[in-house]
Structure 1
């Protein structure tokens, strides 16, 4: 059983204090609800509620919006939709069906644009809780998410600790580091410096596609690792048959159009066809703002009320959300007496690993949902005494999950 629908949650007050008359949340469900088998999946920055493949989804847009975790969620997959009732909801501020900057303001009849209230990860969590109430779902068997979706998971544990039995936060951290904050700042400046941005009120006219394209290219560089870029592109020319639409500068015709340039241009073109520039501003702001310890004395204090089990999954090649950041979060959980396992995957794919290596992501999630942290193959990489921190993150290979 699958459903694709929109729920009207009525008037919604954001944590900023501002309200909108009606918040509509687009969501998809997979499987049948039996009362104690609900799994909420939280999407990443530019993802959508379309987390798994559907027989009626042939016309969906490309990229993460199209079954973005289709090899992890589905019948017989790690998050098995024949066993679990899976819910994935588009977050407020995005542009895949949930109310956001591109939506019509009922009070003016025009798109909100940047009159839309500021959005936080906490607003995502609160809207998900209200949606689940509408669906008749109380306590969750599990909440799972990657990247900023993993931050969404952590916010569930501090905001609704009694509503979650098990949780998995994949390729995430308790907060962004200054380098990532800086890169997100440059990406947003690329959008707001586009002459077509018009203060965010560009709907009905030319859109800031160039600015959004540059922002997405910065994002793609953040998601890849040096080894993965060297392997995929090297310094190779894209070839004579690959022609850029127009040279970026007069001297460009003299130099080769490299594969890495071609890749970034292609990804930017695809992205501007499917995503809204204002939504990119709002979503990155929400991610940048998230700090697990905000309002608490520490990360441990923020998680102290959670009595379920938490699995952290990190990737050795991910410099966006590092293994060290995940281990710091795991240590905060140990301090708070939260049942925790930190599973480190050896990968050189960078941050994209949680999307492009389902064979490494799926097994630990499957085991968590089935057996919890008592499962004998999940490895907690807590540092041993007398081991330096940089030596304590022993990679865990997929083979360890075979019987």
Structure 2
């Protein structure tokens, strides 16, 4: 079987968002990998600031959708856990983003100007509905599987409650049925950093100075959320970054007296890179979509929301992740058991924090590969014990960057 790849944009026509507002034309950027045989389609849902560029493309030749490297290139590809020699993998950029799918930075055909904050509010449900329409365009009916991490995992859960008959197997990685108040609070502060930037201009800053400082601060808050105390201690400690990395202009006069620490240097570097590739309005829209998601909305409970799904669900959580905790995944697993859904909860020992699902493919890949090939195969209990022997890692080269630090 060949490993055909495509990179394209689908024009899906008029689209009504769940808010009730409508745009005259929705374009969705997507990539596909592998050959479609009718029953081998796997939809991969990206995380907050990801793109459709999930796997390495031999024809990409550099940046794709603003990201130099595929965000899950060590999990998706020929011979990888999500094997594109066997499965037809589809990844679509979500509405509201800035990587090819219609969002705030896109031109409003009715005005000829960017939408800005005139763009309709976006929900995770809108992402799912747009993906369903894209798959219809591609001739894909029932999915062999849908897989996603972080808010992409919420996207997976929304598939199970919205289109339960269209999914055979599902993998929800480092996610939860909803955000907890601490994460909601941090997202609020991040958004306020953007809207308080004097260049934000109520979201109509296109063609003028952009709110880069606000977006930079928002991203720094995000990075802190994605790391664990242990990983930050290991990577940075309290070490000085050295004289050669000191910023030319200290943020305040007293700062020149104190050391410029490695953790500060890291956050500044990542913020600078992020403002070069992402749109501030998209960050506002996508974080609000994540904050709004509640699996039980419109249902009596989480179990009620999932009751119509008759396939299999694998949950992966990470011990060092305080953004989406092991306890939240286990609560979701328990809701599945109450609903009679076949579920397995695989707990991964890791101190990488929320980033683990991106930077430890050797731990994420094998359970997903087993899910796709064999289903849960009897693994319908919480697996919290460390494996007696290390998993095979030859196919999963270590990753030293992540989606959050592209």
Normalised by the length of structure 1, the TM-score is 0.93
Deviation at 1:59?
A: 2.3
Q: Is the Cα–Cα contact under 8 Å of residues 309 and 338 in structure 1 kept in the other structure?
A: yes
Q: Which runs of 5+ in 1 are unaligned?
A: none
Shift of 1:240: 1.1
How many residue pairs align between the two structures? 403
Q: Distance in 2 between matches of 1:62 and 1:118?
A: 23
Q: Which SS does the other structure have where 1:248 is aligned?
A: coil
SS in 2 for 1:36: coil
CA contact (8 A) 2:52 2:65 kept: no
Q: Look up the SS of the partner of 2:98 in the other structure.
A: coil
> CA shift at 1:55, angstroms?
1.3
Residue 19 of structure 1: which of 17, 22, 31 is its match? 22
Counterparts of 1:398 and 1:377, CA distance in 2: 32
Q: CA RMSD in A?
A: 5.9
Structure 2 Cα separation of the partners of residues 54 and 239 of structure 1: 38
Structure 1 pair 257–106 and aligned structure 2 pair: CA distance change class (3 A): same
Q: Contact between 2:359 and 2:401, CA under 8 Å: does it hold in 1?
A: no
Residues 189, 297 of structure 1: CA spacing in aligned structure 2 closer, same or farther, 3 A cutoff?
same
**Structure 1 stretch displaced more, 236-245 or 146-155:** 236-245
The correspondence for 1:122, drawn from 115, 122, 125, is: 125
CA contact (8 A) 1:169 1:312 kept: yes
User: Are residues 56 and 245 of structure 1, via their aligned partners in 2, closer, same or farther at CA, if it must alter by over 3 Å?
Assistant: farther
Aligned with 1:65: secondary structure?
coil
Q: What's the secondary structure of 2:244's corresponding residue?
A: coil
Structure 2: tracts of 5 or more residues without a match = none
CA distance in 2, matches of 1:332, 1:47: 29
Matches for 1:164-243 after TM superposition, within 5 Å: 164-243=167-246
**Cα offset, 1:299, TM superposition:** 0.0
Separation in structure 1 between the aligned mates of residue 386 and residue 10 of structure 2, nearest angstrom: 45
State how far apart, in whole Å, the 2-side matches of 1:238 and 1:222 are.
22
- Tell me how far apart the structure 2 counterparts of residues 68 and 396 of structure 1 sit (CA, whole Å): 10
- Report the Cα distance in structure 1 between the residues aligned to 2:364 and 2:237, rounded to whole angstroms: 27
Change (3 A) 1:340 1:195: same
State how far apart, in whole Å, the 2-side matches of 1:40 and 1:326 are.
21
The structure 1 residue matched to 2:311, chosen from 300, 308, 313, is 308
Whether the 8 Å contact between 2:362 and 2:397 is mirrored in structure 1 is no
Q: Is the CA contact 2:49–2:404 (under 8 Å) kept in the aligned structure 1?
A: no
Aligned to 2:94, the other structure's residue is in SS state coil
For 1:77 and 1:390, how far apart are their aligned partners in 2?
Answer: 10
Q: CA deviation at 1:58?
A: 2.7
Report the CA distance between 1:66 and its aligned residue.
2.9
**1:270-302, CA deviations, whole angstroms, 9 ceiling, x for partnerless residues?**
000000000000000000000000000000000
Instruction: Give the drift of 1:219.
Output: 0.0
